[in-house]
Amino acid sequence: MDNSLGKNCTVLHESCTTALSRSDFAPRIDLSFLDPPFNQDKAYNAWDDNLPPEEYWGWMREICGKLYTLTSEGGAIYFMQREKNTEFVLQCLRDAGWTFQNLIIWKKKTSAVPGTKRFGKHYQIIAFATKGKTPRVFHRLRIDPPLPADYKHARENGMFVTDVWDDIRELTSGYFAGDEALRDTEGNRLHKQQAPIQLLLRIILSSTNPGDVVLDPFAGSGTTLVVAEQLERKSIGIELDSHNITLIQNRLTEWRKSDDVSRFFKDYACTPDLEAIWGEHGQSRKFASPDEPTAKQMAFLESNQ
Ligand SMILES: C[S@@+](CC[C@H](N)C(=O)[O-])C[C@H]1O[C@@H](n2cnc3c(N)ncnc32)[C@H](O)[C@@H]1O
C-alpha cells in the first residue's frame, strides 16, 4: 500500500525487507535512521521480538546491505541499538560496506537502569556510518549547553556537538514522557518506543540538506517523518503494523504543538548558516493548540478504547 502524505512524504504499510527489495523502491536515499525492534521480547502487535540471535543479526545485516545499495555516494546511516549489542551493530555495518564515522553515546537524561553486579546502564548507542569515506553532507552543529559547575569562563560562541549526546531526554514510559508522547485518552502510551523529535532533529540537521531524502525503515510512530517534513526534507517511512500506520497518518495530517521542532532552533543558534540548514519555511508551520486534541486524534482515540 502506498500512502503519499503530500509531496514530500510517503508511508509504506509493509515489511521493510520486502519494500527495500523492490527494484522501483526509490531513486536515491541520502540518510537512513534505523531504530528496529531490539529483539528483547517486547510486545509488538505485528512482530516477533524474540528471534534467535543469529536470525535477528542476519536480518539486520540484510537490511544494512539493502540500504547501502539504495544510498547516494557519501550518504549516511544512523543505527540505534542497546549498548550491549555494539559489536554486532558495527559488524553488520562493516559487512554491508558502510564506513564507520562515530559511535554516538546517547546518554539518557532519565535515571540509569540499575545493575546489581555491574554498573547501571545509562546510555544507548547510535552508530553513524557513511557510504564511502567522505560524508556527502556533514553540518558541524554548534550548541550552547549549560556550563559544568567547575568551569571558570563562559563560552563565547557555544561548542560543536560531540559524539556524546547528553542533552536529549528520552520519552520514558510514565508521566515524565510529557506531552510529546502519543497517548490514548487514559494517558497510556500509543507507541512505547517513540523516539524524541530532538534526536531526529540532530541527526537530520547533521547529515542532510533541505530537499534530501530521509528513510526510516522501522517508522513506528513516524518521528523521523514528522521532523523531516518540518525541515523540508523528503521522507519515506516503512511500518509493518497497521495501528502505527494510523498513528503516522494522523501525526502528519493534524500537527500537534508538541511535535513542533522550531522551539529547538535557539539551541543551535551558534551554528553558522543555520537558516539554510534548517530549511526556508521550517518555522512557519501551523500547529494545533497543545491542549486540544485534533478531530482526527479524537476519532482515533475513541476507536481504540
Ligand atoms: C523501535 S520501533 C521504532 C520507533 C520509532 N523510531 C518511533 O519514533 O516511533 C520499531 C518499529 O518497527 C516496526 N517493525 C517491526 N518489524 C518491521 C518490519 N519488518 N518492517 C517494517 N517495520 C517493522 C514495529 O512495528 C515498530 O513500530
What is residue 291's predicted lDDT score, i.e. its pLDDT? 47
301 falls in which pLDDT band (50, 70, 90)? very low
Least confident of 110-119, 236-245, 296-305: 296-305
Q: Which cell numbers hold the place of 286?
A: 501551523
What's the pLDDT tens digit per position in 248-266? 999 999 999 999 999 999 9
Mean pLDDT (whole number) for 50-70: 94
Average model confidence (pLDDT) across the chain = 89
**What would you report as the CA-atom Rg of the chain, rounded to the nearest whole angstrom?**
19
What's the pLDDT tens digit per position in 173-209? 655 667 899 998 888 889 989 999 999 999 999 999 9
SS3 content of the chain, % helix, strand, coil (to 5): 30, 20, 50
What is residue 305's predicted lDDT score, i.e. its pLDDT? 42
The answer to whether residue 86 scores a pLDDT higher than 70 is yes
The answer to whether residue 66 scores a pLDDT higher than 80 is yes
By the 8 A CB rule, do 191 and 220 touch?
Answer: yes
Distance CA 29, CA 75 (A): 7
Mean pLDDT (whole number) for 225-249: 96
Mean pLDDT (whole number) for 110-118: 87
Residue entry with cell 557510504: 131
Q: Report the nearest atom of ligand 1 relative to the CA of 17.
A: 19
Distance CA 193, CA 222 (A): 11
Mean pLDDT (whole number) for 104-123: 90
The answer to whether residue 222 scores a pLDDT higher than 50 is yes
The answer to whether residue 303 scores a pLDDT higher than 60 is no
Mean pLDDT (whole number) for 113-127: 93
The answer to whether residue 220 scores a pLDDT higher than 70 is yes
The CA angle 274-277-283, to the nearest 5 degrees, is: 75
| Domain 2-303 of CATH type 3.40.50.150 | yes
Distance CA 218, CA 241 (A): 10
CA atoms within 13 A on the CB side of 189: 17
By the 8 A CB rule, do 231 and 205 touch?
Answer: yes
What is residue 212's predicted lDDT score, i.e. its pLDDT? 98
Q: DSSP label at 259?
A: G
92 CA to middle of ligand 1, Å? 18
What is residue 172's predicted lDDT score, i.e. its pLDDT? 74
3-state class of 192 per DSSP?
A: coil
Q: How far is CA 16 from the centre of its chain?
A: 16
The answer to whether residue 38 scores a pLDDT higher than 50 is yes
Residues with beta carbon inside 6 Å of ligand 1?
15-17, 35-37, 44, 46-47, 191, 193-195, 218, 220-221, 223, 238-241, 244
By the 8 A CB rule, do 32 and 215 touch?
Answer: yes
By the 8 A CB rule, do 277 and 205 touch?
Answer: yes
Pairing of strands 142-143, 159-160: antiparallel
Distance CA 106, CA 127 (A): 10
For atom 3 of ligand 1, which residue has the closest CA? 220
184 CA to middle of ligand 1, Å? 19
Distance CA 275, CA 278 (A): 5
Mean pLDDT (whole number) for 64-82: 98
Q: Which of 261, 198, 267 is nearest to 231 (CA)?
A: 261
What is residue 304's predicted lDDT score, i.e. its pLDDT? 47
35 CA to middle of ligand 1, Å? 7
The domain ranges of the chain are 2-303
What is residue 276's predicted lDDT score, i.e. its pLDDT? 97
Give the mutation target among 15, 47, 244 for probing the ligand 1 site: most ligand atoms within 8 A of CB.
Answer: 47
Pairing of strands 71-82, 123-130: antiparallel
Count CB neighbours of 116 within 10 A.
5
Q: How far is CA 28 from the centre of its chain?
A: 19
32 CA to middle of ligand 1, Å? 13
The CA angle 30-31-33, to the nearest 5 degrees, is: 160
Taken as a whole, the chain contains a residue count of: 305
Q: Which cell numbers hold the place of 17?
A: 525487507
Pairing of strands 164-165, 99-107: parallel
